[in-house]
Chain A
Amino acid sequence: MTRSLQRIWPIATNTVREAIRHRLLYTLLFFAVTMIGVAVLIASLSYVEGERIIQDIGLASIRLFSVGIAIFVGIGLIHGEVDRRTIYTILAKPVTRAEFLLGKFVGLLLTVWLQLLLMGLAFVGVSLLVGAPLDLGYAAALFLVGIELMVIVAVATLFSSFSTPMLSAFFTLGIYALGHLSRNLYFLGQEADVENVRRAATFLYRVLPDLETFNVSIQAVHGLPIPATEVGWAVLYGLAYTTALLSLAIYIFHRRDLE
């Protein structure tokens, strides 16, 4: 186990180092911070609840851009290594394919969490500047964005383990969109008269991630309570779903010919 970690960690830190050299990453980060700032301008156009509008737009921007960053970097995560053949020298060392994949996953996750931290700091800065209230609800909201990002990074890693960046982007975006709709699809399906439709809706809900589990932005912005059990459940769900995705990614990647 310790030996495995000793091999996973250099791959992870190297992935972080590679990711933070992407210029587009800084562009996305710049736009995210700008959007948080622009929220002040938009709020000034409203007569009521200016601070809430600022924080609502701020949190939405953080979610949107951090997912964008995760997908942008994640889609080429494994494919790039195979395409450039950098993977050959790594797998010829005593590194298993599972360790390599986990190293890349951890590296990307650390990168998006670092970006999230920076955006979170910008959010706090703007909130303090306009005198908007800040409480633990916002911390919980940002924390759960981090857990959602973990799932998205695992999705991107899974698709990157066997398909091209273009297809990975398409699939990951699709899963992201469906993941936010899966709960509604489930409830809609249960209203149907046909048994098979109800079953299909249940099946889809079981297979697709329920990303709304990680969305407590509305409660945070409106000062509603966020129970610790809800956060705990979301964390457990995120960890379980990520583990399942990574297990599948490892299985596929292990069987793949690296031509």
Chain B
Amino acid sequence: MTDSPPEIVRVDDLVKDFRPGLGLRSKRVLHGVSFAVREGEIFGFVGPNGAGKTTTLKVLMGLIRPTSGRASILGCDVGEAGFRQHIGFLPENPYFYPFLTGREILRFYARLCGVESSLLAERVNDLLALVRLEHASDARLSTYSKGMLQRVGIAQALIHDPEVAFLDEPMSGLDPIGRKDIRDIILRLKAAGKTVFMNTHILSDVEMICDRVAIIVNGRIRYEGPIREFLREDELRSDIVLARLPSETSTELGERFSATLQTVGETIEVQVREGQVQGFLEAALGAGAEILSVTPNRVSLEHIFLEAVEEGERADARADRGGEGTS
């Protein structure tokens, strides 16, 4: 048995209700959310807009209180402030004091984190270099573009060399080069043994850099686990185009290999799981079919994600109907 790395973030049965206004009914945004983030991993918290990603992150940052449930970071309750010396946070679409320069704002955050005066200038310069903002370091933030502000956001989150970085949509507002830069920074953090929690809806980034993911839909976790396992379920399929396959054989092969077959004119288009391709081809050739093409077709994370979202919404609708029936 191998020991799994210690849990850095632990969320148990988190519920959050919001009251839109006085006299209005409260709305449940998080329905018993639970997950864990382990040391040294890049954890992707994925979900569509309004799923509860940012609300969960706000609870973790102590900005809002959960209605019930518990959340802890580095073993400390999120309501405490002490552990924040060891975490960094990039909010979604960060906004900073526009009257300060890039260098001044980093100095400000460094002082809040208690970075020693003797190290402060060096640390600020290092971070400005890391996010490639040296050229604009003495310009007011009011003159910065959205992408530059996002880079400042990353720099302030890392100014005190935290153990855990919480990044809310870190690639938001960045051009392809900027996105690659941020990906590289995140991978560098992982290489240095840091833990990264990343809220995102950009699935290609998740696929590229995350070790584990949790998918949240309508305030409920629909999946939590390693990204590879998540993709593996139906990760690889192949599209096969056949001709001259007898119709009775095609039905039999479809059932035997769990393949989907569609007749298009004289040809049949088949989609079959990767592990079944060899067997299917042998059986089809044995039945006298002519193979016109075989194309490996990787089902994207996006496809699986959308399926998970739709399934989640169907489950919620069923739950709502059940609730109506019993009330």
Contact = CB atoms under 8 A, between A and B. Distances in A.
Contact of A21 (B90, B99, B160): B99
A258 interface: yes
Interface string A85-129: 110111111111000000000000000000000000000000000
B86 to A, nearest CB: 9
Given A86-B96, A86-B97, A259-B18, A94 B64 contact: no
Interface residues of A, number: 25
A214 to B, nearest CB: 32
B63 interface: yes
Interface stretch (A10-18, A142-150, A178-186, A226-234): A10-18
A258 B111 contact: no
A257 interface: yes
B310 to A, nearest CB: 29
A93 B99 contact: no
Contact of A14 (B62, B108, B157): B108
A7 B108 CA distance: 10
B84 A94 contact: yes
A161 to B, nearest CB: 15
Contact of B84 (A14, A92, A255): A92
Contacts of B63: 88, 91, 257-259
A89 B91 CA distance: 7
A94 B99 contact: no
A89 B81 contact: no
Contacts of B5: none
Nearest to A7: B112
A255 B97 CA distance: 25
Contacts of A89: 89-91, 94, 96, 109, 153, 156-157
A23 interface: no
Contact of A96 (B81, B100, B153, B166): B81
Interface string B74-109: 000000011011011111011111011000000011
Given A86-B95, A89-B91, A93-B113, A258 B85 contact: no
Interface in B85-144: 85, 87-91, 93-97, 99-100, 108-109, 111-114
A18 B95 contact: no
Given A91-B62, A95-B81, A259-B18, A10 B111 contact: yes
Contacts of B58: 258-259
Contacts of B62: 91-92
A26 B293 CA distance: 77
B91 A88 contact: yes
Contacts of A92: 61-62, 84, 87-89, 91, 166
B65 interface: yes
A17 B100 CA distance: 9
Nearest to A84: B95
B108 A10 contact: yes
A88 B89 CA distance: 8
A259 B19 CA distance: 11
B109 A93 contact: yes
Nearest to A17: B99
A94 B61 contact: no
A223 to B, nearest CB: 45
Contacts of B157: 89
A259 B64 CA distance: 7
A93 B64 CA distance: 15
A205 to B, nearest CB: 31
A89 B152 CA distance: 11
Nearest to B84: A94
Contacts of A14: 97, 100, 108
B24 to A, nearest CB: 15
Contacts of B84: 92-95
Contacts of B166: 92
B114 A94 contact: yes
B114 A3 contact: yes
A93 B161 CA distance: 12
A196 interface: no
A21 B140 CA distance: 13
A91 B109 CA distance: 11
A6 interface: yes
A13 B81 CA distance: 22
A208 to B, nearest CB: 26
A259 B57 CA distance: 11
Contacts of B153: 89
Nearest to B55: A259
Contacts of B113: 93-94
Nearest to A99: B81
Interface string B149-165: 00001001100100000
List the 3 closest A-B pairs by CB distance, nearest first: A92-B89, A257-B64, A10-B111
11 contacts: A86-B96, A88-B61, A89-B94, A89-B157, A92-B62, A92-B84, A92-B88, A93-B84, A96-B81, A257-B64, A258-B63
Interface of B: 18, 58, 61-65, 81-82, 84-85, 87-91, 93-97, 99-100, 108-109, 111-114, 153, 156-157, 160, 166
Given A89-B153, A94-B114, 13 more contacts: A3-B114, A88-B61, A89-B89, A89-B96, A89-B109, A89-B156, A90-B112, A92-B62, A92-B87, A93-B113, A259-B18, A259-B58, A259-B63
